Amino acid sequence: MRTPLDDQVIDATDSMFGKFAEFGDLRAVNIRTGVGRGLDPKYSYINLIKKSFDPRYWADARKWRIVNGKLVADPVNGYTQLELNFSMFWGISIMLYEATLISDDSPFDRFFDNGAFSPVPGFGDAEIRGLGVFSNEGGCIHCHTGPVLSGPAVGIKSPFTTTASTTSVSGRPGTIPASAASIRSATRSPSPGNSSPARSSRSPTIIRSIPASG
């Protein structure tokens, strides 16, 4: 298998793989140039999978093919259990990584934490005017609502109409709907009880165990 990110230059300050990341510098750094390209060879996909997943999903080294939903031994052109389950490893890894990408302390959040009455660092007069346009004459909020700011994407019908009542932001130019706080609350991370991803009706083939003989 290829080295992870082998064609990608990784900056030394990268928050996930660089010098100051939680697990230290994971890059493959060229000693002469100091450029990090890809991950260090010891962080191969195989090693990362073995370190992260139960052996029952990767330990069998015999080779197989899946024919009509069944395992068929193929020592020459088949795939190991680890290779057959790679899509599962990949999907779970991406899911867990994306679960860490929670933006709930942006200047927009701090503005509402401060009562939505006065500017905060990073969210000043210009941003407040922009929010007013977003929420009123721009009509953006009619579609851009919900936890991902895309109502149709998650089946949410906007509660706002073009005639929604508005209230002035104290001492600030422009207006923001009286219920504007709901914009902010909708962009917060969903609670654990409401965060289940949509499930596919077709389950992927996961090779949990390999026959003892074959």
Distances (CA, A) of 99 to 23, 78, 110, 133: 18, 34, 22, 31
92-102 residue pLDDT tens: 999 988 888 77
Percent of all residues in the chain with a pLDDT value above 90, rounded to a whole number: 27
Q: Across residues 152-177, what is the average pLDDT?
A: 49
Q: Across residues 151-155, what is the average pLDDT?
A: 77
Instruction: Please tell me the predicted confidence (pLDDT) of residue 4.
Output: 86
Per the listing, tokens 């007069």 go with 125
Taking 70 as the threshold, does the pLDDT of residue 185 lie above it? no
53-92 residue pLDDT tens: 999 999 999 999 999 988 899 999 999 999 999 999 999 9
10 Å CB burial of residue 84 (0-12, 13-18, 19+) is: buried
Q: Domain map of the chain by residue range?
A: 1-43, 53-101, 107-189
The predicted model scores a pTM of: 0.53
Confidence class for position 154, pLDDT limits 50, 70, 90: confident
For residues 165 and 177, what is the distance between their CA atoms, to the nearest angstrom? 6
Phi-psi label, residue 58: left if phi above 0, alpha if psi -120 to 50, beta otherwise: alpha
Least confident span in 13-27, 36-50, 198-212: 198-212
Taking 70 as the threshold, does the pLDDT of residue 22 lie above it? yes
10 Å CB burial of residue 22 (0-12, 13-18, 19+) is: exposed
